[in-house]
Amino acid sequence: MPDAWLWLLDILILLGSALLLGMLAEMLRQSAIVGYLLAGMIVGPNALGLVAGGDEVHFIAELGVTLLLFSIGLEFSFRRLMKIGPITYVGGTAQVVLTTLAGYALAAALGFGFRQALVLGMMMALSSTASVIRLLIDTTRLDSPFGRNALGILLLQDMAVVPMVILTLALGGDSTPTESLAMLGRTLVLSALTFGAFLLLFNVLVPRLLNLDSLARNRDLPVLLAVVLALGAAWAAHSVGLSPSFGAFLAGLLLAESPFAAQIRSDVAPLRTLLVTLFFAAVGMLVNPGWVAANPLPVVLTAALIVLLKPAVIHLITRLLGYSTGTSLATGLCLAQVGEFSFVLATIAIGAGVIDDELFKLVVSVTVISLLTTPYLVRLAPRLAGWAESLRPLFGIETPVNALQTSGIGGETGHVPDKAILIIGFGPAGQQAAEHLLPTSQDRLVVVDSNPDNADWADALGIAFIIGDARRRELLEHLHLKNSEAVIVTVPDQDAVRQIIHLVKAVAPEVRLLVRARYHIFKWELLLAGAEVVVDEEAQVGLRLAEELLSEKRRKTN
């Protein structure tokens, strides 16, 4: 049988076993990702041996991660990414450095040498982009504050892989420090040139291609163009030493400004799902169940230390950047695992003689076990955030209510007019609501938002702006909620919306409450929580499209 058909048989066995165990996991109300990982462990070369675990399976699996990051880039765009704030560059860099140092100190305390301890620290600093983003999407948490924080840190981690690889090679003695620095400098120059080429390509050539009549008439062609761009960007990034998935993410960001972005994202979704599933199954193949059974104590203890240490470091960093206790804890919990790029470092380290076979098996086993815990930790994150906020005095000193900052019109600091209309959340949705209410209610509009960057926009509209977290009962009481006419909640995080509804109804049960539902599945949940009006974004899109069509028909008739 030709090799290509043997590869196809391996893929078929992996996908079939992933399907069965994924279905079983869902029946048991567990994440399907757990089933995919277990499927790879069972049919892989270290258990039943039904799949040999060749390089072709891992290569195809990497394509899944590449398409996943490409589709996430299509969702975000550069403007939206910039709104994530300093968590990406400042927080992400601090996380990589501090976690590496913490991992190094821990490994050194356990008796490992300098080279081994440093490599282990770098492996520990990397989290799983594929699993975390997949789970945040599945649980509709990617747009939550902790979801955006996790995404920002993950992107920085992906960028940090390149210097980590170069440092690992240098520790192996294959190159001198001068050669390593030259390699790093060459990579940085090529990276800058590649980024410039991406900007030129996606801002000059691609828009012209997408506006061609031939692409507009055939919906398959824009999708084919997108796949070519995604894979081409991944190859270009790999060729200069960058992470291929990061290159694909960058391509998605640049393509996100196109009107075809939503359609392309939906069309590549089935292929992305197929390949990402194969990725998790391929990761599971790396585990040797027999070795884990023979060495349970070091595996379990190491995994437990990582799950505790990483969230602690990330919590500290995000708190220093001004995020709340709950958001900081939830961000750390989402990233409390060792990621897929740690396999890359481990493979290079064992090839360079930095680590031995036993340590390599420990790294692989701990990584997969941490990935198995990830679905549960990501689902626990929003609950932990709410619990932490309710017990915030135990976690540190919070900003007192009388220190809240207020800007805009309205006399003395903190003054809220009678019959006020409170707008909680001042992103694009909150700004739209404020603009439409300005002609009739300017003197009664009050915006509440935890992001001080939005104050300038409120000032420009002549609207009072209060910096604060509306999930605090003290803040709502400070706003004289009982004297308000209505509360409009435009926050995208549905957990936060639900908490705000409960607090508003507890403080002022008679006030009219209008809220935003980011996804249709949350509409009835928010109505049952106490909201009088829930604006369902997904339903509104359909209504708006129908209205546009009917309006166009009326214009043609007239």
Q: Could you please report the per-residue DSSP string of 48-117?
A: T-SS---HHHHHHHHHHHHHHHHHHHHHHHHHHHHTT-TIIIIIHHHHHHHHHHHHHHHHHHTT--HHHH
What's the whole-number average pLDDT of the chain?
A: 80
Q: How confident is the model at residue 390 (pLDDT cuts 50, 70, 90)?
A: low
Give residue 102's pLDDT.
92
Percent of the chain surpassing pLDDT 70 = 85
Token pair, residue 519, equals: 């996804």
Give residue 81's pLDDT.
63
Least confident of 32-46, 164-178, 244-258, 311-325: 164-178
The residue with greater pLDDT, 212 or 123, is 123
| Residues making up the chain, counted from first to last | 558
CATH topology of domain 401-557: Rossmann fold (3.40.50)
Give residue 75's pLDDT.
67
Q: Do the beta carbons of residue 107 and residue 120 sit within 8 Å?
A: yes
* Host H or E run for residue 533: strand 533-536
Q: How many CA atoms lie within 13 A of 16 on its CB side?
A: 10
Give residue 332's pLDDT.
93
pLDDT in tens, 496-529: 888 889 888 888 888 999 999 888 778 888 888 8
State the Cα–Cα distance between residues 363 and 357, nearest whole angstrom: 10
> Which DSSP string do the residues of 5-25 spell out, in sequence order?
HHHHHHHHHHHHHHHHHHHHH
Give residue 143's pLDDT.
74
493: left (phi over 0), alpha (psi -120 to 50) or beta: beta
In sequence order, which residues have a C-beta less than 8 Å from that of residue 549 and are 6 or more positions away? none
The residue with greater pLDDT, 57 or 225, is 225
Strand boundaries in 358-479, DSSP class E: 406-407, 421-424, 445-449, 464-467
In sequence order, which residues have a C-beta less than 8 Å from that of residue 553 and are 6 or more positions away? none
427: left (phi over 0), alpha (psi -120 to 50) or beta: beta
Beta bridge partners of 489: 424, 515
Q: How confident is the model at residue 78 (pLDDT cuts 50, 70, 90)?
A: low
Q: Is the pLDDT of residue 173 over 60?
A: yes
Distance of CA 374 to the CA centre of its chain: 13
State the Cα–Cα distance between residues 127 and 311, nearest whole angstrom: 11
Supply the Cα-derived Rg of the chain in whole angstroms. Answer: 26
Q: Do the beta carbons of residue 284 and residue 53 sit within 8 Å?
A: no
State the Cα–Cα distance between residues 314 and 320, nearest whole angstrom: 10
Domain spanning 3-386, CATH architecture:
Up-down Bundle (1.20)
Give residue 435's pLDDT.
87
Q: Is the pLDDT of residue 74 over 70?
A: yes
Token pair, residue 221, equals: 């062609």
The residue with greater pLDDT, 553 or 507, is 507
State the Cα–Cα distance between residues 517 and 190, nearest whole angstrom: 44
Chain position carrying tokens 């750390």: 332
Q: Is the pLDDT of residue 495 over 60?
A: yes
Distance of CA 534 to the CA centre of its chain: 26
Closest by CA position to 463, among listed 427, 426, 500, 488: 426
Token pair, residue 366, equals: 């701990």
Beta bridge partners of 465: 407, 447
> Which DSSP string do the residues of 104-170 spell out, in sequence order?
HHHHHHTT--HHHHHHHHHHHH---HHHHHHHHHHTT-TTSHHHHHHHHHHHHHHHHHHHHHHHHHH
Give residue 174's pLDDT.
58
Closest by CA position to 334, among listed 78, 183, 107, 136: 136
The residue with greater pLDDT, 239 or 446, is 446
Per domain, the residue ranges of the chain are: 3-386, 401-557
pLDDT in tens, 391-443: 655 444 444 443 344 444 333 334 578 888 999 988 888 888 888 888 888 88
pLDDT in tens, 280-334: 888 888 888 889 889 999 999 999 999 999 999 999 999 898 888 888 999 999 9
Q: How confident is the model at residue 94 (pLDDT cuts 50, 70, 90)?
A: very high
* Host H or E run for residue 517: strand 512-517
Q: Is the pLDDT of residue 465 over 60?
A: yes
Chain position carrying tokens 């490409």: 70
State the Cα–Cα distance between residues 476 and 474, nearest whole angstrom: 6
The residue with greater pLDDT, 314 or 156, is 314
Would you call 211 exposed, middle or buried from its count of C-beta atoms within 10 A (0-12, 13-18, 19+)? Answer: exposed
Give residue 412's pLDDT.
38
Q: Is the pLDDT of residue 2 over 60?
A: no
Q: Do the beta carbons of residue 497 and residue 505 sit within 8 Å?
A: no
Q: What is the mean pLDDT of residues 99-123?
A: 91
